Structures are given as structure tokens and as C-alpha cells.
Amino acid sequence: MAENERAVAAMRQFLEALGLDLEKLGMEKTPHRVAQAFGEFFSGLWENPDDEWQSPIATQTDGLVVVRNIRFHSMCEHHLLPFFGSVHLAYYPKNGTIAGFGHFVRAVDILARRPQLQERMTEELCQSICRGLDPKGVLIVVKATHLCLTMRDRMAIDSNIVTTATAGCLKEGTEAYHQAWKMLMEEEENG
């Protein structure tokens, strides 16, 4: 992505407004680096996770499909500080329609490479899978550590946030939900 000179100038002005003497501190190139990095961090704004479901796979399967530990990192839109963790998902295919596992990883990556809220990212992933695969049900669980919390509050150093989104037959409270939840969290319970 081409360097955005307006972003470079704004970052220089921001750092100087905080009282940093960029030349004295040897940080003359920092505004350029930050502008380039944030261009990469937010590149998911120009991609659509729904594109990952364009070539579904037809199978005979109707059993629960579980994908655990999709690692991600994102930027909290409130403080522009990182949050990172893992996505676990389960879905029941409808009429045997599934997607390759890499498509789930890429959909998570697209959503994570935006200024983001964990709650919104969780729901957006659920809705994208619903639109693309039309499954019988979906359960998404996202567990993340937020530096906007842990860096600012020493008492929260070991804190993490867990969010969920559900659809269809995997709505919270159903027997299918409890089965999927157990499969998604099995590793954490045994770990």
C-alpha cells in the first residue's frame, strides 16, 4: 500500500503535540513507519469476508464442523491499541454445503484487519458464514486479550474477554448449542 503523506504529516504533528522531539529522540522516520503499519493493520476495510464463501464444497456431511484456535490480532477502535486471541467456530452444514478451512482463517483475518470491536467482529463473522454457507446453525466464540485494558490497568494483566454469536439451530440454550460449546471449549477445559 502506498504511503499516505497526509497520515505521515498527521502522525508527526500528533507525536510533536505530545511533546516528543522526534529529531532529538532519533524518531524522524517513526511517522512514516506508523502510517505504513496502520495502512496494513486496516487493510481489511477494503476486503469483504463474504468473498470467502464464493466456492462452497458440496458434500454429504451433515454433522457438526468445528474449527478451533484461529489466531488473530486486531486494533481496538476505541484506543487504537492491539487486541489478540483466538476464534473458535462450529456450524452445522445445510445440504452438505461446507467451505475449506482456510476460508475461515481468511474471513477472520479480513475482519480483524479493521479498527474493530471484539463484539462486532464476532457477530460479523457469524453473519458472514450465514450469508455465505446458509448453514443450519453457527456458533462463534472469540477469546482475546485487550492491551487497552491490560496496559492501562495493572489489576487486569491476566484478563481476557470472551464473546459469542449464534444463529439457527445453534442459538444459545439449545441442546445443539451445548454440544457445540463443549466441543469448542474441550481443549481449554483439558489444558
Per-residue pLDDT of the chain (191 residues; tens, 9 = 90+): 456 899 999 999 999 999 999 999 999 999 999 999 999 999 999 999 999 999 999 999 989 999 999 999 999 999 999 999 999 999 999 999 999 999 999 999 999 999 999 999 999 999 999 999 999 999 999 999 999 888 888 777 888 999 999 999 999 889 999 999 999 988 666 65
The answer to whether residues 104 and 62 touch, using CB atoms and an 8 Å cutoff, is: no
Task: Indicate whether 85 and 125 sit together in one domain.
Answer: yes
Question: Within this chain, do residues 12 and 65 fall inside the same structural domain, yes or no?
Answer: no
Q: φ and ψ at 167, to 5 degrees?
A: -155, 155
pLDDT of residue 186: 80
Residue 19 in any domain: the answer is yes
For the chain, the domain total comes to 2
Residues 123 and 35 in one domain: no
What's the burial of 4, exposed, middle or buried (CB within 10 Å: 0-12/13-18/19+)? Answer: middle
Same domain flag for 103 and 165: yes
Residues 101 and 129 in one domain: yes
* Measured distance between the N- and C-terminal CA atoms of the chain, rounded to whole angstroms: 40
20 lies in which domain range?
5-41
Query: Residue 14: inside a domain, yes or no?
Result: yes
Spatial distance between the Cα atoms of 35 and 171, rounded to a whole number of angstroms: 41
Q: Is residue 51 part of a domain?
A: no
The burial of 127, by beta-carbon neighbours within 10 Å (0-12 exposed, 13-18 middle, 19 or more buried), is given as middle
In this prediction, residue 156 carries a pLDDT of 77
